[in-house]
């Protein structure tokens, strides 16, 4: 395996691990949230992380089998129907944590998503394949959307004590 391909595979492994951690975090935040609208926001973010994991896993399988890069949409279309439990938790359910309030969860989520944007920006600039750049550009835009959603929720919660209305559509599509 070439050095460049090894770096690509490592980046995809990091991305999958990061999305798993994000999924777990958002599940705990949703389970712990006392606010129904906040719970919905965290649940949507958890669903988004599942989608990302399956897309990264599909791309990882393609790259490690000497197939070309796919766009985000191609990987999304080819992904398997894997449940969250199959990807992450053999036992399934995630338990709420004590003292895990919405404000703290949003603050941590914001930092998490900002770091993800930085990671994908780095992958984008280091990619030497046009398809890889397009893939990482798409992922970066999605993560920037998560930052905006979380920042808006954080501003609303910190400023007024109310959640914004839950967005029925995903920024993913």
How large is the average pLDDT for residues 105-127? 93
Q: Which domain holds residue 89?
A: 3-160
Classify residue 170: in a domain, yes or no: no
Q: Answer whether residue 84 shows pLDDT above 60.
A: no
pLDDT 10s digits, 142-154: 999 999 999 888 8
CA angle, residues 117, 108, 136, in degrees to nearest 5: 15
CATH of the domain at 132: 1.20.1260.10
Rounded Cα gap, residues 125 and 13, in angstroms: 18
**Residue 117 CB contacts under 8 Å (≥ 6 apart), including other chains:** 140, 143, 144, 147
Domain assignment of residue 171, yes or no = no
Domain count, the chain: 1
Query: Distance between CA 152 and CA 47 in Å, rounded?
Result: 19
8 occurs within a structural domain = yes
What length does the chain have? Answer: 173
Domain-located, residue 43: yes
| pLDDT single digits (tens) 60-78 | 988 999 998 988 999 988 8
Percent helix, percent strand, percent coil in the chain, to nearest 5: 75, 0, 25
Is 168 within a domain? Answer: no
Q: What is the pLDDT of residue 34?
A: 84
Q: Are 102 and 157 in contact (CB under 8 A)?
A: yes
Give the pLDDT confidence score for residue 80 in this predicted structure: 64
**pTM, full prediction:** 0.79
Residue pLDDT, tens place only, 21-56: 999 899 989 988 888 888 899 999 999 999 999 999
Residue 167 covered by a domain: no
């Amino acid at each position: 395996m070439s050095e460049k391909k090894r770096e690509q595979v490592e980046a995809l492994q990091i991305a999958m691990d990061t999305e798993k951690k994000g999924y777990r975090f958002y599940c705990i935040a949703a389970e712990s949230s006392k606010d129904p609208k906040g719970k919905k926001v965290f649940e949507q973010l958890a669903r988004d992380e599942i989608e990302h994991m399956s897309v990264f896993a599909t791309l990882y399988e393609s790259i490690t089998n000497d197939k070309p890069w796919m766009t985000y949409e191609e990987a999304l279309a080819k992904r398997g129907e894997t449940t969250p439990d199959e990807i992450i938790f053999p036992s399934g359910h995630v338990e709420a944590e004590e003292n895990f309030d919405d404000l703290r969860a949003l603050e941590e989520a914001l930092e998490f998503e900002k770091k993800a944007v930085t990671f994908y920006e780095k992958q984008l600039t280091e990619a030497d394949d046009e398809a890889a750049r397009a893939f990482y550009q798409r992922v970066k835009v999605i993560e920037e959307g998560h930052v905006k959603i979380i920042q808006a929720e954080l501003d609303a919660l910190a400023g007024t004590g109310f959640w914004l209305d839950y967005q029925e559509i995903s920024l993913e599509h």
